[in-house]
Amino acid sequence: MIRTYKCRAKLTRSGHEALSRVFGMCATLYNACLEERIGCYKKTGESRSYYDQCKALTEVRANDPEYANISVQVFRGVMGRIDKAYKSFFRRVRTKEKAGFPRFKSSRRWRTIEINDQCWHMLKREGQKLVLKIKGLPRIEVKTERELPSNTLLKAIRITRKPLRTEVALSYELPTPEAKPVGSPIGIDMGISKRLTLSNGETVKKREVDRRRLIRLQRSVSRKKKGSNNRRKTVSLLAKEWQRLAGKERNYLHRLTSEIVRMYDFIAVEKLETKKMLGNRQLAKSIQEQTWGKFAALLNEKAESAGVTVVAVNPKGTSQECSSCGATVEKSLSIRTHRCTCGYEADRDLNAAINILHRGISVAGGKLKQSRMVGRMRDKQGAGLARPRTVEVTI
């Protein structure tokens, strides 16, 4: 399995200027490759491949010392990016999605350098420091917040300039651990009124974004004249505020998913089609704020590293189906309590979470009677309205 470690990069002022120059060269090369592909297709009806453009790059480096003084792996990453953009375009055409042909890039908007080949010798240790040394690039000191894996192969390096700081992402190939035996399963229902509802009755409060500073900065951007220095500065402040919010949310999701993976050995979640759900204009903003996709991706990643089984199930009818007798109880979204003719009464999301757990165990090939937790939940179903406990996690 591939795991990526994000680290902070420390550069001098001259190092930042040199990195900006390389970003500009990458954008120029990307535009030249795109123009070559378009022109070749217009003349011959065939496009240029990644390997054709790599051969052309060798000729360019032989005649241009500015490109020759920079590692060839940096520019191969650029050509791999244009090749990936072309393949994605044709894939979308085949699947009849919105195609979106690759566009030319502005040098100011190019912020990433990707190295996917022969990068294991570029990260060196100097005493207590980790330093990234790449031909033609400035010296980059890498500051890690956790220990990097030892005796493993470094597969890729990504240097990204963000509004607040420059970051380095290091991707390693790690062995996949063996799956743990199932001892404590859990089902998770993702919602809007409550972000998560677990089948044991616990809930996680919904995310509420404080947009006051964002609104103030956005209004300030709108008042500035386009192309002015003041507008550019305010846009930078707005981008930094968005990154602060995104980083805060990601740190919270890391802690939340880590805690769930530590507590449970089998996790059943909903397989939601978020893109289709965003078509509902009344709920689109609330759905985006809860970041279900990021939560599911981090949960799968951490579960794989810990040997925990995660099963995604079809969520259709989980809120309407009674988790006690299996009968279908039709109710609108505004009705938050599930009441069945069999006498079972529970919170709507809790009922759905239990159904998700049942489906997950069924998909995994297990039997419900083998789960002690499911047995306890069935014993509680005759005790009247189940009141889940709310878990408040501070950021």
Q: Which helix (H) or strand (E) holds 161?
A: strand 154-161
47-51, 151-155, 227-231: the lowest-pLDDT one: 151-155
CA torsion angle for 260, 265, 271, 274 (degrees, to 10)?
Answer: 20
CA angle 31, 135, 141 (to 5 degrees): 105
Tell me the three state secondary structure of residue 95: coil
| Cβ-Cβ contacts under 8 Å for 303 (sequence gap 6 or more) | 261, 267, 309, 310
Q: Identify the DSSP state of 190.
A: E
Could you tell me the pLDDT band of residue 158, with boundaries at 50, 70 and 90? very high
pLDDT of residue 370: 40
Does pLDDT of 194 surpass 70? yes
pLDDT of residue 318: 86
pLDDT of residue 348: 87
Strands 2-10, 112-115: pairing kind:
unpaired
Name the token pair of 377: 């939940």
Mean pLDDT of 330-353: 86
Does pLDDT of 351 surpass 50? yes
pLDDT digit string, tens, across residues 40-66 = 999 998 889 999 999 999 999 999 999
Question: Across all residues in the chain, what is the average pLDDT?
Answer: 86
Task: Give buried/exposed letters for 1-20 (b at 16+ CB in 10 A, else e).
Answer: eeeebebebbbeeebeebbe
pLDDT digit string, tens, across residues 287-325 = 888 888 899 999 999 998 888 889 999 888 888 888 888
pLDDT digit string, tens, across residues 258-296 = 999 998 989 999 988 888 888 888 888 888 888 888 999
Start-to-end CA distance of the chain, whole Å, equals 30
Tell me the three state secondary structure of residue 378: helix
Share of the chain above pLDDT 90, in %: 46
CA angle 48, 51, 52 (to 5 degrees): 45
Strands 389-391, 345-347: pairing kind:
unpaired
Distance of alpha carbon 186 from alpha carbon 250, whole angstroms:
23
Beta strands per DSSP E along 112-153: 112-115, 123-126, 129-132, 140-143
Beta strands per DSSP E along 296-366: 309-313, 337-339, 345-347
pLDDT of residue 99: 87
Does the CA dihedral 77-78-83-84 come out positive or negative? positive
For residue 364, the tally of other CB atoms under 10 A from its CB is: 15
Of how many residues is the chain composed?
395
CA angle 95, 81, 154 (to 5 degrees): 115
pLDDT of residue 283: 84
Residue range 185-209+242-391, CATH number: 3.30.420
pLDDT digit string, tens, across residues 85-107 = 999 999 999 998 888 999 999 98
Share of the chain above pLDDT 70, in %: 92
Could you tell me the pLDDT band of residue 366, with boundaries at 50, 70 and 90? low
pLDDT of residue 121: 86
CA angle 124, 128, 130 (to 5 degrees): 30
| Domain boundaries along the sequence of the chain | 2-173, 185-209+242-391
Give the CA distances from residue 101 to residues 26, 90, 111, 339, 361, in Å, rounded to whole numbers and listed in that order.
19, 9, 20, 51, 43
